[in-house]
Amino acid sequence: MTHNFNCRIYYEDTDAGGVVYYANYLKFAERARTELLRSYAINQEVLATKHDVLFVVRSAALELLRPAKLDDFLRIETEVIDVKAATIMLEQNIYLENTKLCNIKIKLVVINKKFRPIRLPEFLKKVFSKDGC
């Protein structure tokens, strides 16, 4: 299942030419991942304090295909690709209407507050499984 998140491009997101600065695509993707969790009533602060579970980005591969510009209204699609014991692979595509602007592949690692990798808890495995997402 694919989760969708929309965002508008503001002046602060662009460079001097009115084009979205490349690093901001990663910010949009982060917001979309947070909203994916929220759609399943998962609060990251509660995960950290109650369950000692944090997600950190291990790697990110960004491919820019076309530029986004000031006032564009983007759709970020997030799909869980793979779930392993302590990692989650996601693919995020950013669209302007039906035109793909950006593809991002993200590998998340599940860690505890001591910054040590841990196994993904069962309740989260169900959320991130193909049936859950």
Catalytic residue among 15, 52, 71, 82: 15
**Rounded-to-integer distance, Cα 93 and Cα 62, Å:** 10
**Rounded-to-integer distance, Cα 128 and Cα 13, Å:** 30
**Rounded-to-integer distance, Cα 99 and Cα 127, Å:** 29
Mark whether 71 is an active-site residue: no
* Cβ-Cβ contacts under 8 Å for 22 (sequence gap 6 or more): 62, 64
> What residues are annotated to the active site?
15
